[in-house]
Chains A and B, each alone.
Chain A
């Protein structure tokens, strides 16, 4: 099987689905780039992370639409186009820009189907590049998915690797509900085995990344690889873990987590977001309320602190949960 980066895996999915379904369009800032530039290079960027590269030459400017820097209009146009029968993919260059387009996400696309009595669908995908690790500072580094996971009507997808990213993106593109697709910037170059062809991964189905018997570890996005390191480190001392990657947080595969905790009695949840009202807190609450009798130790959550994402390398490193902190939490919960 071919080794591909997560960047190329998502790009693959977009190419496949645009070729298969003429209703799919892509819009956002610099999704091709170069419009109105002086070099004459019409596809000057293919998205600043290169995710939409090659789409413009293949599918044309009707379907690959460079927009002004107008996030509300980008998301709103995607929502309106979806109501009118297209299947748009809107790009928010940085997930942080949810702030300037939030109304169109949570008051508009999320609510159409319910408000209109089930008579509409809004099959829009919003791609959001997220995450700390590149010293981009407080307004370009957040993992803002907990906010959107709290909104009924939205689906929230958070891939942790290239294979899942392609399969989940193909599912998102064929889904009839609005999907928020969070892509961790630090994972874009990470390679994995990715088939060339078409395959989908269903939403609401967690992946069991490691199997064990002593501790259940749940992690998302970049934290999955960090948790793998921690899990492998404690395995040397005979502590074995289930490592669960939910892959989508709305819907959330709570059953897989609860079943695992039933076996292990111990839970560590790892999340790059700050702790309050986070996915970590949500999963901890679900297990505490529905799986209390399985628990043999207090749940540990490993998250970023309740601060904005800092800039300096040393501070940002301290902000992001590390494999070491995850390892500590596993040992702690195992000891109790």
Chain B
């Protein structure tokens, strides 16, 4: 499925928004104003955006601890996310979730999830809802290479095949399960093949190339919407920062990230082929400038926003109790 110029510009805008959101968080975290534990998505933007570009608010995604990119790609409110990460009262989850638990059900975003492998079973459940409604919608489970070694993921892959539900399992192979290399931790070295062994079509794609991810997702969507059951995509990518902010990354070669920022930067790669898709670089420059302003405004608003009232401690544990 080829995208219109507007759709391509929107996709670029979302990738750039994710990048600037994360680059800015990397700076702001060092001020000590942001509470807790943050995992940045910079470097993987083409995966989230390539997967979510053709999804609607009625399609579901389930995210991970490294979830900011998935949220932005699915259309979550960016200033609301920034406030949430700062732990503010009018953050997207009223300051009760934080970086690892951002959700927005109205956008079909069923939550970032701080348990590695926690999400895929949930995605299968949402896929049962899609199947039963027969409305052509799908449910996407994002997970890293680390998640592919969790038993919950095996269970979810098999259950999706058995029930023949429209679930799409996206494995973002960024090379590291926390501080451990994927070549060490994934015994078979091939996550897509592992998913295929459960009985679903699975493919590899270039996770630094928006067009490669988007094409894979188009095949996955066609398969699911035709009632073919689940599909898996292993996107090869990298992260430009550590497992979490503050990770000294002693497990990475000294110039690895520098080299990857040259060759695996999805924004540079998008720009390199923009002309072939009828996109003028000036249009991308204008988006870059816009996005910088939006992120600036989001950070300023988050810093100025009030924290939750202490009374919020006790609310929303239950609907009724």
Q: Which residues of A contact B (CB under 8 A)?
A: 25, 27, 62-63, 65, 67-68, 70, 72-86, 88, 103-104, 107-108, 112-121, 152-153, 155, 175-177, 204, 251
Contacts and interface: CB of A to CB of B under 8 A. Distances in A.
A25 to B, nearest CB: 7
Interface in B265-321: 315-321
A115 B103 contact: yes
B126 interface: yes
B125 A114 contact: no
A222 B315 CA distance: 34
A177 B131 CA distance: 24
A75 B122 CA distance: 8
26 contacts: A73-B121, A76-B121, A77-B159, A80-B127, A80-B129, A83-B110, A83-B122, A85-B129, A86-B129, A103-B152, A107-B118, A108-B113, A113-B318, A114-B316, A114-B317, A115-B101, A116-B101, A116-B105, A117-B94, A117-B95, A117-B316, A119-B104, A120-B111, A121-B319, A177-B321, A204-B321
B80 to A, nearest CB: 10
Interface string B93-114: 1111100010111100011010
A78 B125 contact: yes
B60 interface: yes
B126 to A, nearest CB: 4
B195 to A, nearest CB: 15
B32 to A, nearest CB: 24
Closest 3 CB pairs of A and B: A76-B121, A80-B125, A80-B122
Given A68-B162, A73-B159, A85-B129, A108 B93 contact: no
Contacts of A68: 155, 158-159, 162
A115 B111 contact: yes
Contact of A120 (B103, B120, B162): B103
A117 B96 contact: yes
A84 B125 contact: yes
A201 to B, nearest CB: 15
A80 B121 contact: yes
B208 interface: no
A27 B315 CA distance: 31
A76 B120 contact: yes
A68 B156 CA distance: 10
The A interface is mostly helix, strand or loop, or mixed, namely mixed
Contacts of B60: 80, 84
B132 A62 contact: yes
Contacts of A65: 128, 163
Contacts of A204: 321
Contacts of A155: 318, 321
Contact of B96 (A27, A85, A108, A115): A115
A104 B118 contact: yes
Given A70-B158, A104-B118, A107-B115, A76 B128 contact: no
Contacts of A63: 132
Contacts of A177: 318-321
A176 B110 CA distance: 17
A114 B96 contact: yes
Contacts of A72: 121, 151-152, 155
Contacts of B106: 119
Nearest to A67: B159
Nearest to B137: A84
A104 B121 contact: yes
B116 to A, nearest CB: 10
A153 B127 CA distance: 24
Contact of B94 (A76, A77, A82, A118): A118
A57 to B, nearest CB: 18
Given A116-B97, A116-B103, A119-B103, 10 more contacts: A72-B151, A80-B60, A80-B121, A84-B60, A85-B129, A108-B122, A112-B111, A115-B101, A117-B316, A155-B318
B91 interface: yes
A188 to B, nearest CB: 28
Given A67-B159, A107-B115, A25 B103 contact: no
